[in-house]
Amino acid sequence: MPYKLLFVCLGNICRSPSAENIMNHLIDQAGLSESILCDSAGTSSYHIGSPPDQRMNAAAIAKLGIQLCGRARQIEKSDFQDFDMILAMDRDNYDGILALDPTGKDHDKVRLMCEFCTQHTLKEVPDPYYGGVEGFNQVIDLLVDACEGLLQHVTNQQLRA
């Protein structure tokens, strides 16, 4: 059974699709695409069905040469059963995710993405939506760091279990 990761932000058009696509890129490079699967979702319904934000896609292409794929969807309760780990981009997202699990049964599956950063000290991936180009570039830098740490974590802790 592959290990399944779900990346979650507010709109599922900027941060979480970037995390999903960057992680898939690292997983492909590591030859682990049969072992680790990724998806992303938003806590809100604002952008359901929309492709990734063009500004976010432009930053991913400029910095990494990665084209962002996917369509926005909203997180649902069944995601707690379907995924092994749920990565929240910020604390609001974290709280929104836990609100879908009132018993707290799957609390341990939910983590803040920046926990896995080794180069950056920010604790949250800032929402770039209402800001300028620098904010989108910062999202990419943070997510590359976090995704590298997360891949290490998953390969060390889970695949050897």
Q: Which residues are catalytic?
A: 9, 15, 127
Give the tokens for residue 127: 């929402």
Q: Is the dihedral of CA 45, 15, 152, 24 positive or negative?
A: positive
Distance between CA atoms of residues 82 and 154, nearest Å = 17
Closest residue to ligand 4NP: CB criterion: 11
Please choose, from the candidates 12, 14, 32, the residue with its C-alpha nearest in 3D space to the C-alpha of residue 23. 32
Binding mask 26-55 for ligand 4NP (x = CB under 6 A): --------------------xx--------
42 CA to centre of own chain: 10
- Residue of 120, 122, 129, 141 interacting with ligand 4NP (CB under 6 A): 129
- Residue of 6, 10, 37, 88 interacting with ligand 4NP (CB under 6 A): 10
- Residue of 7, 15, 116, 136 interacting with ligand 4NP (CB under 6 A): 15
**Residue whose CB is less far from ligand 4NP, 37 or 41:** 41
Distance between CA atoms of residues 149 and 61, nearest Å = 22
- Residue ranges binding ligand 4NP (CB under 6 A): 9-15, 46-47, 127, 129
